[in-house]
Every structure is written in structure tokens, then in C-alpha cells.
Amino acid sequence: KQEVTQIPAALSVPEGENLVLNCSFTDSAIYNLQWFRQDPGKGLTSLLLIQSSQREQTSGRLNASLDKSSGRSTLYIAASQPGDSATYLCAATGGISGGYNKLIFGAGTRLAVHP
Amino acid sequence: DVKVTQSSRYLVKRTGEKVFLECVQDMDHENMFWYRQDPGLGLRLIYFSYDVKMKEKGDIPEGYSVSREKKERFSLILESASTNQTSMYLCASSSLGGQPQHFGDGTRLSIL
């Protein structure tokens, strides 16, 4: 059964720092991996999706990488801003035991960027 | 932009009531999903639907049912609400399998 872990659980950084959020998954037979952002009390906003055949995806200051063989993905945020403060979730499809429709979520990394 | 709309942001119901949570998407997506999110447990899939009148159980379907009579609308039904169903409920939709899921703003449901 696919399991997704995110480290660290919480992170506090000064504005302007570059930072990396980590995500690991146990079943490498994923279809894709998706990164989301969640603001307090709100739904999830899709940031980036990496298909299993891809190594990375970029959107603005965000870059997500995928290494299926090691079961890892990272989300790199460049030049962090206070507006980046939120919880970041990664989610992988179910692997061999799951379908490509089902997402398994990590617990999230709570990011605080202070001025 | 994809728009997923959940009918209520906050809802308070009593134990034993039948509760309906509604979700509508405007992008003609085939797939729709219902999740619940709880502190310490994260997001868990309750049910999903890949076509009208088609549904599949997720990881925690007990105590819930769903209805999808039209492609754009997916309803979650709590047959007899209990206090352990107090949670944040999130609806999502996506096009063909493996495409990004897009989420609504969530319904915070309290069962008293």
C-alpha cells in the first residue's frame, strides 16, 4: 500500500531564502505526483504535477523534481516571500496496489516565511 | 480556470440527520472525488466517480454514500450523521486519469 511522507512537518525561514520541501513515497510504480498548497481553512490549490516519465516541472519560482527509483520528490521554492506561507502537500498516485485516479497524500509541511 | 464549487462553507447538523454535501464543477471533468481532512490523519479519499452513475469506494466509505446523476454534480450523503463525521470535506475533479485534481474550498461540517 502506497505511503507518502513529508519532511519537515514545519519550517520557518526568513524572507528571501531558497528552500526545499521533501516528499517520499514507498511504491515507485506511481502514475504521477502532484504538489498542492493549502491556506488555513481553505481548499487545495494545485501547484505542479509531474508525470512518471518526467524528472521535473517548473512554474515561476517553484520547481518540483521526481526520482522514482529512490521514491523521492522535492519542491524547491526560490526567493521565498511571506505570501508563500501555507501548508504544502504532496500526493502520489496509488502505485501497483492503487489506481491512477487515487491520490495518497502526505501530512504536509507547514511553511512560515517571516519578513 | 477550473471552478469547483461546494454548496456550503460551514454546516452544523445533529446526530442521526441525513446530510447532503453538494459539489459542482464547470470543466466537463470525468472524474470527481470526495475527501475528508482531519488533523493528524491528513486527507483521505471517501468515494470517487469516473462517470455519471459510476462510483468507486475510497479508503473510508463507511457511513457515506454518493450520487452522480449529472456529469457536473457529485453529492456526498451522510446517511445518519454521527459526531465522528465532524470534519472538513473537500471535493475535487479531474479530467482523464492522471491529470491534476482541482479542489473546492471545502465544507467544514460539525455534527452535534
Name the residue with higher pLDDT: A58 or B40. Answer: A58
Please check the confidence at residue A101 and state whether its pLDDT lies above 80: no
- Residue A95 binned pLDDT confidence (cut-offs 50, 70, 90): low
Q: How far apart are CA B72 and CA B82, in angstroms?
A: 28
Q: Give helix then strand counts, H and E, for chain B.
A: 0, 11
What is the structure's pLDDT at B97? 66
The mean pLDDT value for B36-49 works out to 92
* B58 at interface of A, judged by CB pairs closer than 8 A: yes
Please check the confidence at residue A97 and state whether its pLDDT lies above 60: no
Pairing of strands A109-114, A10-14: parallel
Comparing CB atoms, the residue among A36, A49, A102 nearest residue B45 is A102
Inter-chain residue contact B97 with A99, CB threshold 8 Å? yes
Comparing CB atoms, the residue among A43, A49, A105 nearest residue B104 is A43
Q: How far apart are CA B2 and CA B70, in angstroms?
A: 18
Q: How many CB atoms lie within 10 A of CB B5?
A: 14
The mean pLDDT value for B53-73 works out to 94
What is the structure's pLDDT at A115? 94
Inter-chain residue contact B100 with A46, CB threshold 8 Å? yes
Comparing CB atoms, the residue among B33, B42, B105 nearest residue A42 is B105
What is the structure's pLDDT at B96? 77
Q: For chain B, what is the mean pLDDT?
A: 93
Inter-chain residue contact A41 with B108, CB threshold 8 Å? yes
The mean pLDDT value for A39-63 works out to 94
Phi, psi of A55 (to 5 degrees): -105, -30
Name the residue with higher pLDDT: B104 or A29. Answer: B104
Instruction: Give percent above pLDDT 70 in chain B.
Output: 98
Q: What residues of B are in contact with residue A89 (Cβ under 8 Å)?
A: 43
Got the DSSP string for B36-82? Answer: EEETTTEEEEEEEEEETTEEEE-S--TTEEEEEEETTEEEEEESS--
Q: What burial class does residue B112 get, using C-beta atoms within 10 Å of its C-beta: 0-12 exposed, 13-18 middle, 19+ buried?
A: exposed
Which of A75, A16, A11 is closest to A46 using CA atoms?
A75
Q: What residues of B are in contact with residue A102 (Cβ under 8 Å)?
A: 45, 48, 58
> CA geometry: angle at B73 spanning B70 and B78, to 5°?
115
